[in-house]
Amino acid sequence: ETLQRIVSTLANKNDEIHNFIDMLNHTIKNVQVNSSNAISELDEEFDGLYSILDEMKGSMASTIQQEETRKIQTL
């Protein structure tokens, strides 16, 4: 009878461990999905910022060139 209780307790603990492992696997999958989504959003944000900076660079370079041309013509 004692041995049967020990076996029963071990079987219950085994089930608990498997349930815990399943829960951890589910949590890992969620973390992976969330991380992937965060990286994608970050990539999009940086792409947008890069695009804006590139436009500003072009505009500023054009302004500098126009100013250079104006000053050369003045001289």
Q: Which pLDDT does position 15 carry in this prediction?
A: 97
Domain boundaries, the chain: 1-74
Q: pLDDT tier at 18 (50, 70, 90 boundaries)?
A: very high
Q: Which pLDDT does position 58 carry in this prediction?
A: 97
pLDDT tens by residue, 25-70:
999 999 999 999 999 999 999 999 999 999 999 999 999 999 999 9
Q: Which pLDDT does position 55 carry in this prediction?
A: 97
The token duo for 66 is: 């126009």
CA 27 to chain centre: 16
The reported pTM is 0.65
Q: Compute CA distances 2 → 8, 10, 16, 17, whole Å.
A: 10, 12, 21, 22
